[in-house]
Structure 1
């Protein structure tokens, strides 16, 4: 199978979460991927929000990359900030902290990769279509 890849950069702004979700939705449409579309778009929203709120230094950008290969679609969100995100298991009354927990519940694979500068949060989704 041919590997597909597409990447885009986004400014550190709350509106970028919506724009990143749209980028992913548009790319999935172009690639003919319809299965798990809602899960994938929700997860990119959570990862992008995490980057904007906690990872991207002032004046910097983050990137979203989609890679489709061997029946798996990977979403990668990379920022240049310090620190490492942690998956929390918040209580029912918690007002925040569910984002990465939700990603790990919906995705078939999840990892944080340290980069020379910053890190990449990566979520994988197994696809049954071609």
Structure 2
């Protein structure tokens, strides 16, 4: 009677999943012992997507390139990957150079606007000197 209770289905909550449990499930699925649906039923995992997420995080399958990551890549594949990476880095470099150019132009424009405002309104906008002491501090210094 007690052995029947031990094998009974137990619905789990998300907090129950330890790292060792996750790795055990992933290993069992990758070895071909279970499907994701069978693992859900066996371990009482609420959703198949949870297991798929674990497989993406902890599994050996490279989800981006759709190849197992422990398989050796041919030199041609490595060259193609590196070429794609170089193109991406060139695009990023071009984008960042453009942003730097725009930022420089904005800084020049803002400086011109401040200069114009200082001339037009006869006020100092930029702080070039030490600010004056407050009147309270001046009174204290005069008493001493």
* The structure with more radius of gyration: 2
Q: Which has the higher contact order (CA 8 A, sep 6+)?
A: 1
TM-score normalised by length of structure 1? 0.21
Greater per-residue helix proportion: 2
